[in-house]
Amino acid sequence: MSDGQLKAYYVYSPWLRIFHWLMVMSIVVLFFTGLYIGNPFFIGSQGLEPTYAFSERLSMETVRFIHFAAAFILVCAFVLRVYGFVVNKGDRLLPRFWTKQHWAWTMDIMLHYMLLRASHKPYLRNPLARMSYLGVYFLIGIEAITGFTMYVMVDPKSIWGQSFSLVNSLLINEYYVHLIHHYVAWLIIIFAVVHIYMAVRADFMEREGEISSMFSGVKFLAHQPVDLGEIATEEDSLVRYWDNIARDSRPHSG
């Protein structure tokens, strides 16, 4: 089936792409504002820095406001992304843990990343990455739950306060909620580092168009992706989509 030529596959719906970038932006903002909230500092090493911060209009109040605004954006993006998961088959990322194939593919990828295998099978959505996305969704979920627990408890009587106060009891007390929120923030950032590297690597090493795919929705693969069936209703529709566009602009073999 291989013809040595790059073939274009349309993977990501605009829906997914919009919310991916919204999530990226909000997480970056949340992380930096969060760090500031955890330890309000300002350029300078000693003394009464935050006071100067205040005079520079970077007060705790402002930073917390930005953090909370970003938090709402993140949560909305997150929810809408999950909605996309339901309606667009292409947006599905849930790894198929229950299949033997999933684990075989994961092994394939891992061996590749451990530099023990020169290349891996062609995937539209690499199973290892899919697991890591599930993981990071989980982390984002923890951040949202712990974050909102701290956020809504200004009014413990409210319906939100009453619901989230259970989180406080569950995690012993709210101090642990704060700790978990803080620790998990770092885990997300560490994910991001590796994640960006993988994307860049895929682009440069395998010329899969990973980065641009998050903008355009399209990935380029030389071979037919093995997981095509999981992602798309029928492979042709994917290819055809590209073909329709490409027919006019460049010659196409296959």
Which residues of this chain interact with ligand HEM, rule CB under 6 A? Answer: 16, 20, 23-24, 27, 30-31, 34-35, 37-38, 64, 67, 71, 74-75, 81, 93, 125, 129, 133, 136, 143-144, 147-148, 150-151, 178, 181-182, 185, 188, 192, 195-196, 199, 210-211, 213-214
**Lookup: tokens for 146:** 């712990």
100 binds, among another protein, ligand HEM, none (CB under 5 to 8 A by kind): none
Find the shortest distance in angstroms from Cβ 32 to another protein. 12
Find the shortest distance in angstroms from Cβ 251 to ligand HEM. 28
DSSP assignment, residue 7?
E
What type of residue sits at position 168?
Answer: N
Q: Which is nearer to another protein, 77 or 128 (CB)?
A: 128
Residues 6+ apart with CB under 8 A from 16: 81, 84, 88, 90, 91, 217
Helix (H, G, I), strand (E, B) or coil at 232: coil
172 binds, among another protein, ligand HEM, none (CB under 5 to 8 A by kind): another protein
Neighbours of 149 (CB within 10 A): 24
Contact call for residues 27 and 188 (beta carbons, < 8 A)? yes
Q: Which is nearer to another protein, 80 or 136 (CB)?
A: 136
Find the shortest distance in angstroms from Cβ 238 to ligand HEM. 14
User: How many helices and strands, by DSSP H and E, does the chain display?
Assistant: 10, 2
Find the shortest distance in angstroms from Cβ 94 to another protein. 26
Neighbours of 41 (CB within 10 A): 12
Q: Which is nearer to ligand HEM, 58 or 150 (CB)?
A: 150
Site for another protein, rule CB under 8 A: 1-2, 35, 38-40, 46-51, 53-54, 58-61, 63, 113, 115, 118-119, 121, 150, 153-154, 156-157, 162, 165-166, 168-169, 172-179, 182-183, 185-186, 189-190, 193-194, 197, 200-201, 205, 223
State how far the Cα of 221 lies from the Cα of 170, in Å rounded to an integer: 47
Helix (H) or strand (E) holding 219: strand 218-221
Q: Which is nearer to another protein, 15 or 36 (CB)?
A: 36
Find the shortest distance in angstroms from Cβ 15 to another protein. 29
State how far the Cα of 4 lies from the Cα of 29, in Å rounded to an integer: 42
What's the gap between Cα 102 and its chain centre?
A: 20
**Lookup: tokens for 112:** 């590749």
Find the shortest distance in angstroms from Cβ 247 to ligand HEM. 26
